[in-house]
Each structure stands twice: as C-alpha cells, then as structure tokens.
Structure 1
Amino acid sequence: MADFKIVISDPETKNDKKIKCKVISTEEVNVLQGEKEGKALPIAKINEKTHNQIGSPQFITIQTEKEGDKKEKIKVHFKAVIDNKTPDNVIYINKEIAEKFGKEEFDGEVYRAKSFQINMDQSRASSLVNMKIGEQFDGTIIGLPELKLRITGGSDNSGFPMRSDVLGGVKKKILLSGPPGYYPAKPGERRRKLVRGNLITPDIVQINTVIVRG
C-alpha cells in the first residue's frame, strides 16, 4: 500500500487577505518530527495583533518571490502559534524550513491557508481504509488533534477519482456529465469514464478532506 496524501481544505477561507510581513528564522522555533518528509506541518510564531489582521486562522501560508532571472513564487503552509513576544508584522519560523525560501530572513506576505497537504505513512494510513466519502475522522492520526475532517473524495495510484455516487471499493466505467472524473467541453456533453467508488481501498493514494467545525 502506497503512502497516503491527505489534502485538507478550510471552508472558512472565503478571501485570502494578505498582509506584508518580515519572516525571520530562529532556533527558538523547533523542527517537528516528520516535517522534512511532509508528515508534519511546520510551526510559525505570530503575535495576536498580526494574527487578527488575517482573520485569526489556524493555518497560514507564507509567500515570497525567489530572486533570479525568472521570478518564482514560493509558498509554504504553517500551523499558526500565538506568541506575543513576536513583534508586529513579524513571523518566526525554524531554520530548516527557511531553506525552502532560500533565505534566513526575508520580506513576504502572509494569509489564511486555503488548503494544505499532509503525507501519511502506511502504518497510519491503514486506519482510513474502508472509510467512505462523507465520513469523518479525527485529525490526531495526522498530528493535528484539534481537527475533525470529513472525507470529500480522493484518487487512486493511477489518478482515477473517487465518486460518492459509485458504491464500494470498485473501479468501473460510468457515463459522466461532470466532475469528478470528467469536465465537459460544452453543456450537456457526456462521456464514459473510469472512476473509483466511494470506499477507500489500499489503492487510494490521495484523500481529499474538509475541516469540520461546530
């Protein structure tokens, strides 16, 4: 069974209000176990005032432009941790994650994360096998115990998408008029496409989820 990728979307992200910030790497921010492999979300320390300016999100995205002949935007997602010792419009990150930006200190933008991805190894991923689209699970298994996640879809190791209207752990061709699995070129167009059922099997390598609140 391949490792799972869990894609987590935040339904409360309606607009990504961006503010300019100074990002500084420091040894005071710890590197989490599994962070390098994408199995843990890195921490960013931010004060309450700056945090409130972007809507007080649990998860943030820091973005900057990489210098060079070709401009390239670099985005990294973080779990926001309130630390009022951090100055206004300053964000502290660990030195290892700063390598992705190519600088230990830089000017950037911060905003509420729309979605992010966590990788899971096989030993943890097995607990999601036989769950269905629409079911919920605790974020503890991906190191985010404060979250409850609802499964909205996924795809297998060949890229075929799961569909809620196809029951079980099957792979079959069905007539589709829209996504997932088919995007018609014009209204009313239909095609027979290969899709996966609504049940997570060991062949599924990506699971799409949405944060459940309230």
Structure 2
Amino acid sequence: MPPPLASRKKKKNRFLRKTPENGDFNQYWYSALTIETLVGEAVAHGTRIACLSTPSVFFSLPKEVQARATLFDYDRQWDELDQFVFYDYREPDDFPAKLTNTYDFVVVDPPFITAEVWELYADVINRMVVEGGKIICTTVSENADLLDGLVGVKPVRFKPLIPQLVYQYSIFANYTSPALDSPNPEVPDDSDDDA
C-alpha cells in the first residue's frame, strides 16, 4: 500500500518533464501527485489495465505493469508503441472486437466533458471492461449522475489537480479505496462543506 498522501514527497515525473500538452487535442496533464495516485490504484487493482485517453497514467506505470496495459488515445505520437491503440471517441465501432471484456482496470479522461462525448466513451468502457472490473473516470462534478448511469461510478474524495485546467475536476470510481477516500493535499478539500 502506498504511503499516506501527506507523507509523500513531490517527485519529478518523467512523462511530465518530456511530454508537452497539446492544446489541439485538449491535453491537460494531471499533477505528479495525481498521476502517482492513479498509478497506485492501477498497480494495486489491475491485472490488465486500459488507459483510455490517459497517456500520463500509462507512461507513469512501472515498466512491468505497462507491459500488461494498453493506451487508447487519439494522439498518434505513440503509434510505434506495441501497447498503443488509436482511439477516436467519435468512432466507437472502431474499437477492436478482440479487446472486448479484456481489462479489469480502466482509467478514463475524455478530452471533452459533454454528455454526448461521455455516452460514446461509456459505450467503449462497457465493452472493454470485464465483469466486476474497476473503473476510474475524471470529469467535472456536474457529470456525477450521468456517469453513475452510464458506467456505475460515484464521486470519491480525492480530487485530481490538473494545473493548466481552468476548472476543478473530480474523480469517480466504481469501488472504494483508502487513497481515493483521502483528500488530495494539492486541492482544497470541500468535503466538510457537504455535511
């Protein structure tokens, strides 16, 4: 189990250092601590991991875990990677049938937050995940009911920090976890306001 968030030291993330965000693709990377938390969840709970529009998570996985993960993304800069599958959310029927019911851990961050985009992503999420598989999604809190209905995820206490994004995202999961039930020290915790 990873150490408590408050005791972790800030680490430099290789992906963040080497990979600039591409505004044309609505790429906004998570902070190093948020990536570390999501990677910790994938490592703890995933045997076959799908990183759906989450290259920062995929490339931050330990190499031995990355070998059993797949990156689904629109950005073709990773085309040469064996674990890369080109993914255009506007073409859900292009999802490879051979990957149906393959992944027991799916982490998702679409480039847009609209219901129409989430409906297209949900179609693929529901095809790729095995029964009982774990799902993490990141989006705005206003999408809570939508995501619960589409993929059965609920908001957790840990909120991701996305430094270049102008609004605050939330994390939604279909399982409980001590790391996700703890506040992110980088983001003001408003859980006391909800009581």
**TM norm. shorter chain > 0.5:** no
User: Which one scores higher on RCO, CA 8 angstroms, separation ≥ 6?
Assistant: 1
Using the size of structure 2 for normalisation, the TM-score is 0.25
Which is strand-richer, 1 or 2?
Answer: 1
Structure label with greater radius of gyration: 1
